[in-house]
Amino acid sequence: MRHTHGSIEVICGSMFSGKTDELIRRLVRAKIAKQKVQVFKPAIDVRYAVEKVTSHAGADFDAVPIGKSAEIKSKLEPDTTVVGIDEAQFMDAEIVDIAQQLAERGVRVLVAGLDMDFRGEPFGPMPILMSKAERVDKLHAICMVCGDEASRTQRLVNGKPARYDDPVVIVGASELYEARCRIHHEVPR
């Protein structure tokens, strides 16, 4: 599992699709291979733990919370060969350049995040990261309405679909969101 050159790998999909579990699985494998791993996450994500990335299933991995992508440069240890970034949709646009720079320096960059917001539209820097990546894995959840494969995140407000003009960024989990298929995803205007 040693890598000989840098790369960007993106793990994307809807909420509850297993993105963070897959990120953690790859990070654990890198550690088993005796690679130096560092993980970063947006400081606004405090749902489970401040200094860990944590999946909805309960798996976790130590992480450094950051307010801006540029902090990765100052907090990166020189011998790090694998960088994990969770919830990348919340990062500023500079995350794309930083991921590119790290990959060009020989670092394996593992990025996880929502590819679409609750409206079903591309989310933050994720579309650009996906286009620059060597590998993109889109994971799917289970639709909470029909049980089919879900690719979208439904935001709920008082049990009803959020309106299109509601704020895009509201950090939450199953109390605010559920996975939906294309047919059952609703965004009233």
Active site residues: 87
Q: Judge whether 100 and 8 are in contact, CB under 8 Å.
A: yes
Backbone torsion region of residue 44, taken as left when φ is above 0, otherwise alpha when ψ lies between -120 and 50, otherwise beta: alpha
The DSSP output letter for 88 is G
Q: How far is the CA of 150 from the CAs of 59, 69, 112, 180, in angstroms? A: 22, 30, 17, 5
Q: Which of these, 39, 40, 61, lies nearest to 52 by C-alpha position?
A: 61
Q: Which of these, 79, 87, 83, lies nearest to 101 by C-alpha position?
A: 83
> What does DSSP say about strands 64-66 and 7-13: parallel, antiparallel, or unpaired?
unpaired
